[in-house]
């Protein structure tokens, strides 16, 4: 039976987890940490770097290092959010022919879904190494404010990574669900999502 992984695809960092019995287990990356930077870098030779290794080289290679791509996913180039991002991010953001967003790296254009797919692919690989088995299905969290276009774009990123996305869950909802795993008493709980991008 194939294992289903849970992924928090964050603006700043991402993580992947799996249920071990009734307990969720966050899978560590190769560096031994539980979060992986949501960063993709490209060397001048065209080599793709994902995670901590991409972050390490970002200061010397800012134009070819993509971070905060979650701010662009599922948006049109002319949107105020994307126009604001073009002023802050060091890499080149351009419009596709249909008005969507593209990130231009080494004279090649990538969609935010492709970049996110690279991050998701790395998380999938981590899970497969940990489990010793192929992983093909996932649940991915997104911000509660994501619209249908952004949610669909996140699913598309999962597909690019080789994952069937079974469900997209709001990040605060996921936190509330996780709390209920351990509690059986009826009580009111406040959930606050403090992400790296907020």
Residues annotated as part of the active site: 8, 70, 171, 193
Let me know: does 169 contact 139? Beta carbons within 8 Å. Answer: yes
CA atoms of 190 and 148, how far apart (whole Å):
26
CA atoms of 67 and 34, how far apart (whole Å):
18
CA atoms of 119 and 145, how far apart (whole Å):
21
CA atoms of 159 and 106, how far apart (whole Å):
24
Let me know: does 197 contact 9? Beta carbons within 8 Å. Answer: no
CA atoms of 180 and 93, how far apart (whole Å):
41
């Amino acid at each position: 039976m194939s294992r289903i992984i849970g992924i928090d695809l964050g603006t700043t960092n991402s993580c992947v987890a799996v249920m071990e019995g009734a307990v969720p287990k966050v899978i560590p990356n190769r560096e031994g940490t539980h979060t992986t930077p949501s960063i993709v870098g490209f060397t001048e030779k065209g080599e793709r770097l994902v995670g901590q290794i991409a972050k390490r080289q970002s200061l010397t290679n800012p134009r070819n290092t993509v971070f905060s791509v979650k701010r662009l996913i599922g948006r049109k180039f002319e949107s105020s959010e994307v126009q604001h991002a073009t002023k802050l991010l060091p890499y080149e953001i351009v419009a596709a022919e249909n008005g969507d967003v593209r990130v231009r790296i080494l004279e090649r254009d990538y969609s935010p879904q492709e970049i996110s797919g690279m991050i998701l692919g790395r998380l999938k690989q981590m899970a497969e190494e940990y489990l010793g088995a192929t992983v093909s299905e996932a649940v991915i969290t997104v911000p509660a404010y994501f619209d249908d276009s952004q949610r669909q774009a996140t699913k598309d990123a999962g597909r690019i990574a080789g994952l069937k996305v079974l469900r997209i869950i709001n990040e605060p909802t996921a936190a509330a669900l996780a709390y209920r795993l351990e509690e059986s008493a009826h009580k009111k709980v406040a959930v606050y999502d403090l992400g790296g991008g907020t």
